[in-house]
Amino acid sequence: MRRFGLTLAVCLALALTGACGDNGKDSQAVKGPDPARGRRLYIATCIVCHNTDPSKPGSQGPAIKGSSLELLEAKVLHKRYPPGYEPQRTTKAMPTYPQLRKRIADIAAYLAQP
C-alpha cells in the first residue's frame, strides 16, 4: 500500500505538470527534448530523493547531473544500468517510473544543462 500511495502522489504531482495521462498536446510546441519540461518533471518526481540541484547528492539518491539518456532509460524505466556502466551505488532502492517513458529525453536534456 505504501508503494501505491507513493505512486499516487507522484501521479498527482505529474498531473500538475501535465505529464500524467499523456494528453499528447503540450501547450508549448517544443520539438525534440525540452529541458524546461525535463526540469519540471525532475522537480515533480525525482527530488523526493535526489537533490534539487542535481549536481549534489540528495536525501537518498546520488548526484545525477549529466546522466546519459541511456543511463536514465535503464534506471528510471527498468531499474537497471546500461551494459558496462559502473553504478554509483550498489543499492536497488529506487523505484521505476514507467509513466515517464516518453519524457526521459526531456529529463536527460535538463540534466545535461551546464
Distance CA 58, CA 87 (A): 16
Identified binder of ligand HEC from the candidate list 19, 34, 67, 109, rule CB under 6 A = 67
Category of 102 on φ-ψ map: left (φ > 0), alpha (ψ -120 to 50) or beta: alpha
**91 is an interface residue for ligand HEC by CB under 6 A:** yes
Query: Binding mask 7-46 vs ligand HEC (x if CB under 6 A, - otherwise)?
Result: --------------------------------------xx
86 phi, psi to nearest 5 deg: -95, 105
Distance CA 55, CA 79 (A): 21
- In the bound complex, what is the minimum distance in angstroms from residue 15's beta carbon to ligand HEC? 15
Binding site for ligand HEC (CB under 6 A): 45-46, 48-50, 60-62, 64, 67, 71-72, 75-76, 87-89, 91-95, 97, 100, 107
